[in-house]
Structure formats: structure tokens, C-alpha cells
Structure 1
Amino acid sequence: MSESPGTVPEDPSAVQRALVEWYEADHRSFPWRETTDPYEILVSEVMSQQTQLSRVETAWAEFLDRWPTATELAAADRSDVVAFWTDHSLGYNNRAKYLHEAAGQVVEEFDGEFPETPEGLQELQGVGPYTANAVASFAFNNGDAVVDTNVKRVLYRAFDVPDDDAAFEDAAARLMPEGESRVWNNAIMELGGVACEKTPSCDEAGCPWREWCRAYETGDFTAPDVPTQPSFEGSRRQMRGRVISTLKEYDELELDELGPRVRVDYAPEGEYGREWLRGLLADLADDGLVDVDDEGDTVARLRR
């Protein structure tokens, strides 16, 4: 490796030991931290991408109660999976579609067994590098160092790592103990989530890296900008979800029948009118969730 980025110690053993001991002594309890089942972990990772963890806990338990294995999810009606996603406000509905398709791949292409490496897991529909690495780490203890916004903030503050993706990845890789991706990735994300938040609580949370932390030493807790999740209420995501819920109930509807059920202020020629609704339907059609029939009066229906 090249020279350590920022002030990452050449010998990180003391830093590693301090963080792991801090995490193992006390950390937030989430049910997906108590399992090594790759299916259960994949569901939690996909749900967590756009949803507060407090809401994910309930949705995750209910989802697994309904579809406890990849085999049972693969056999489910996709519209039921999408409807569940919508009913629990879990973000973009195409994530439900991809999760359903990934379960089918596990059953049909991998004989019911999940791939165990980040590279193998990326072969599953909708599973990108971050999610693949998380599943490999937490299910198989076989992942790379995770780099999310929380981890970037920790590395930037603690070790003065430059605000550069390659530098963050290099620093994270140097710090992770070999063969310990499960505990390490959980621990460093926990650090960013409870001690090194946007407004840090170093002493209150007993941050284990205070003796090495450049920000703690200088009092300068600036960090790279972290994008904020746009409000769900009134968002395009919410409206897409309402389209799916409505079509689940009515099977198919013409535009001017569907519109008022999606928005109470729907007006055919208005800002939230036919053109706006056509745009929503076009997005959902691109995601493989609805069909739109433009012969005569436009009719929308769930894709089966």
C-alpha cells in the first residue's frame, strides 16, 4: 500500500482494539445484528436504504413473517411484495421488485444458496457494491471495509482523511482487521451513528477514538456534507406508492379515475393533472410495475 492517508496510524492495532471493545461492551440492538442468515440481512439492507431504522424493525419482522425464506419470496406474487413495500412506506417500489427478482435468482440460479462474496452477491438483481459488501460482511464475515456517509465522517474527523472517495476507501481498508468484517463494519458504523453524528457526542458516548482523534484535539468538527433524505410526505416516491396501492385495489383505471385517488387536488388540465400522472406511470412502467394502454382512453393496470 501507499503512504497512509491523513493521520491513519501505520500500526492500527490499538485503534482497532479500542473500537471493537467499545462496540462489544454496548451497542444498539437491532434484530438483523442477531442473525447471519443472508436472506434476512439482505432484506434489512434493502429496507434500510431509505427508511429510518425504527420503522425498518417493524417492517422487517412483518416481511419475514410473511415470506420467511428466499424460496417463499420468490414464489410470491410480485404485486403483493410491492404492495407491502408501499403500505410500509419503504421508499422506491422498484426496490421491492428487485428484491423479489433477487430471491428468484437465488432459487433458480444458485440452487437456493446465496453467493458468499461481494462480487458474487452483485450478480443478484438490484444488489449494488455497498449492499453486496454488507451482506458478505454480516452473513459470511467475508466482506471489505464498508464506506458509507457515517464512516466517511468518522475518518475525516478522526484521522484527517481527505474528502476523496479513494482516500476514504484506502483508510477504511487499512483500519479493518483482516478477516473481521462482521464486527468491524458493525462497530465503525455504530461509532458514526451514536458518537460521531453531525453534532458529535464524544464524551457522552464514550468515543473510543478520542485519544487519536484530530477533531477532538482541535475542536474542529467540520465534515463532508452529508445529503439529507427529502421529505416523504408529498414526494414523488409517495405518489408512486399511491398509484400502486390504488391499482392493487381497482386492478385497472382510466387516468381521470386514477388521478383523484392519488392526489385530492388532481385536476386533468392542472399542475397535478394528466401530464403529471402520465409521468408517474411512465416511471412505473420503466420499472416493470405497471402497464399503460393508450388506445382510446388511457388505462393503467398493475403488471402481472
Structure 2
Amino acid sequence: MTEAASLPEDTGDVRAVLIEWYESDHRDFPWRRTTDPYAILVSEVMSQQTQLERVEKAWTAFLDRWPTVADLAAAERGAVVSFWSDHRLGYNNRAKYLHTAAQQVLDEHDGEFPTSPTALRSLQGVGPYTANAVASFAFNEGNAVVDTNVKRVLYRAFDVPDSDAAFEDTAAELMPEGASRVWNNAIMELGGVACQKTPRCDAAGCPWREWCHAYQTGDFTAPDVPTQPEFEGSRRQMRGRVISVLKEYDELPLDTLGPRVRVDYSPDGEYGRAWLRELLSDLEADGLVETDEHDGETTAQLRQ
């Protein structure tokens, strides 16, 4: 790797839990239910700077009108551009490029899409990211996708330096061999629903919490998040509350400390003993707190 990244030793477990998380539940976009390279190319071009909810309706209507790459190649360019404009899909040049790319597939590739990222880049308007996405999702022959969401995930989870080379190297090292379709979908889904600009780690059940540098430290800055997100309810705030409470007491049992840290503390709930133990473990590692066992009961106090 060109620059150091804090990848855990149990990388196999890191891969496995992310794929399991994705396969158990994810957003059900229709282009995720197909391996047709034409349909996937249309979705990728439409998704550039356009909300996915709007893309879903436009994508379905586009394929109803031009269901195959041959249909699109035979269409009048003006009709394609008008469709693009009517559905507010952004720059009309993308519609022109998509139309030209369809003609290239017919004229230069005998109606068959290239399968590799490098070959796909020969199509008009298909840049590195789109080529890799189509190669991954249509043919399972792509490289690790590195978009803004993926950079945010890698930066927060593994403290990857903010450089394109470091992100690309780390993403490549993490992706299981021969699994670009599921892996790239999974890591982009993680960035889209859990590791957003304002993170939803617990709410979205992020599978990387036990390894995540940001989750352990409470620092959720990222290349596209230059300032701290909402402080209220954050892990950083909870750590501060633990310290504040323990300053007032020599020693407290977990179930006495917990309600003073969170009003919704419940011993066996989401914010219960397990959550509090994890918080205390972080603080112990930082040399701020120590815990002890008395007759089967855990207590916490500030380290003297």
C-alpha cells in the first residue's frame, strides 16, 4: 500500500460481516435486480448528481420506451434528449453520450457490451467510475469502487489518509477476490444508509462498529464532513457525561451510572449494560476510567 491504513488483522471477518449485513437487508433499487449491462449503464448515467428516488421513476420509464441497447441506438437523439430534460436528469450532454454509447455497442462491439472497466471506457461518456460500476454490477469483473461515500467509510472506519492513492489501495485490499458485484454494492450501501455525513451507526446496525476508528473515538469528520456532526447524543458526548458523573462519585455500579449518562438507559436494552461496558472500555483504554468487580457487580471510577 502506498500509505498506511489501520486495517484490522481479522480482515476476513470485516469482509464477511459487511456482506452479511448487505444481503440481509438493503435498499431495493430495481437496477440491483438485474445484471443487464445496458440497464445498469442507464442507471449509472442517470444517478450522476441526481437523487436516486427520482432516478428510479425515470429509469423505469426510459427502459419502457427503449428496452434494449438496440432500441436506444435506433432512437432519434432529440427524443432521448427531450426525455432527459422532461425528467430533470441534469446535463443533457449525458443523454447525448448515452445515445452515442448505445450506437458504439452495436457498431463496434456487435451488440455486446465490453466486460472490463478498461474496455468499457471506450464508450462515449463512460468515465473510470461508471466503467467500473458496470463491470462490477453486470459482469462481476470490476475493481473496488471508490466514490465519495466509500472514501467517507474508509476514512472513518480505518483512519485511511485523505489521498486518492490511499483510498484506492485500501479499497482494493479489502475487496474479496471475484466478488466485486456484492462487495461494491455493500460498501456503497454502508456509506449511503449508515455512514452518512451525519452517521447512523447504531440505528442502521453498522456491521463495522467494533473495528471503526470513528465509532470508538467519537470523531466523525471525513473528507466531505470537515466539521463535527450533531453533538447531541453522539458517542463523544456520552464519553464526556461518564467522566462528568464519575467526578461526583468515588465509585458507581453500572446500573447506577447508566441512567445518569442516558435518560433512556435500560440494563438489557439498546443503551444498556453492553453499551455502557463498551463506552467504559474505550475510556479505560484511554487511561481515564477503571472498572472493577465486587461480588459479581461491575463498578466504575475515574482512574487516580
Correspondence 1:69 to 2:97 = no
Report the residue type matching 1:20 in the other structure.
I
User: How far apart are residue 121 of structure 1 and its match?
Assistant: 0.3
User: How far apart are residue 203 of structure 1 and its match?
Assistant: 0.4
Answer yes or no: is the 8 Å Cα contact 2:132–2:145 preserved in 1: yes
Q: Return 5+ residue gaps in structure 2 as ranges.
A: 227-304
Cα shift readout 1:260-288 (whole Å, capped 9, x = no counterpart): xxxxxxxxxxxxxxxxxxxxxxxxxxxxx
**2: CA distance, partners of 1:148 / 1:8:** 19
Cα shift readout 1:243-274 (whole Å, capped 9, x = no counterpart): xxxxxxxxxxxxxxxxxxxxxxxxxxxxxxxx
Answer yes or no: is the 8 Å Cα contact 2:121–2:127 preserved in 1: yes
Task: Summarize the Cα distance change of 1:51–1:9 in structure 2 as closer, same or farther, 3 Å threshold.
Answer: same
Q: Return 5+ residue gaps in structure 1 as ranges.
A: 228-304
**1:220 aligns to what SS in structure 2?**
coil
Answer yes or no: is the 8 Å Cα contact 2:8–2:211 preserved in 1: no
Cα shift readout 1:120-177 (whole Å, capped 9, x = no counterpart): 1000000000000000000000000000000000000000000000000000000000
Share of identical aligned residues, percent? Answer: 77
Equivalent residue, structure 2, for 1:25: 24
**2:167 aligns to what SS in structure 1?**
helix
Equivalent residue, structure 2, for 1:108: 107
Cα shift readout 1:93-133 (whole Å, capped 9, x = no counterpart): 00000000000000010000000000010000000000000
Higher relative contact order (CA 8 A, sep 6+): 1
Answer yes or no: is the 8 Å Cα contact 1:6–1:160 preserved in 2: yes
Answer yes or no: is the 8 Å Cα contact 1:117–1:136 preserved in 2: yes
**1: CA distance, partners of 2:9 / 2:94:** 40
4+ aligned runs moved over 6 Å, structure 1? none
Report the residue type matching 1:124 in the other structure.
L
**2:129 aligns to what SS in structure 1?**
helix
**2: CA distance, partners of 1:40 / 1:14:** 33
Task: Summarize the Cα distance change of 1:56–1:226 in structure 2 as closer, same or farther, 3 Å threshold.
Answer: farther
Equivalent residue, structure 1, for 2:50: 51
Answer yes or no: is the 8 Å Cα contact 1:5–1:170 preserved in 2: no
User: How far apart are residue 50 of structure 1 and its match?
Assistant: 1.6
Tell me the TM-score normalised to structure 1 length.
0.73
**1: CA distance, partners of 2:115 / 2:102:** 15
**2:160 aligns to what SS in structure 1?**
coil
**2: CA distance, partners of 1:128 / 1:143:** 14
Query: Which has the larger Rg?
Result: 2
**2: CA distance, partners of 1:205 / 1:14:** 19
Equivalent residue, structure 1, for 2:209: 210
Equivalent residue, structure 2, for 1:36: 35
Spell out the pairing of 1:153-168 with structure 2 (5 A cutoff).
Answer: 153-168=152-167
User: How far apart are residue 6 of structure 1 and its match?
Assistant: 1.8
Correspondence 1:194 to 2:193 = yes
Equivalent residue, structure 1, for 2:176: 177
User: How far apart are residue 12 of structure 1 and its match?
Assistant: 1.4
**1: CA distance, partners of 2:9 / 2:122:** 35
**2: CA distance, partners of 1:4 / 1:187:** 24
Equivalent residue, structure 1, for 2:124: 125
Report the residue type matching 1:42 in the other structure.
L
**1: CA distance, partners of 2:177 / 2:102:** 30
Spell out the pairing of 1:234-245 with structure 2 (5 A cutoff).
Answer: none
**2: CA distance, partners of 1:17 / 1:225:** 27
Answer yes or no: is the 8 Å Cα contact 2:19–2:183 preserved in 1: yes
Answer yes or no: is the 8 Å Cα contact 2:2–2:165 preserved in 1: no
Tell me the TM-score normalised to structure 2 length.
0.73
Answer yes or no: is the 8 Å Cα contact 2:2–2:166 preserved in 1: no
Answer yes or no: is the 8 Å Cα contact 1:116–1:142 preserved in 2: yes
**1: CA distance, partners of 2:173 / 2:68:** 36
Answer yes or no: is the 8 Å Cα contact 1:4–1:10 preserved in 2: no
Answer yes or no: is the 8 Å Cα contact 1:85–1:93 preserved in 2: yes
User: How far apart are residue 8 of structure 1 and its match?
Assistant: 1.4
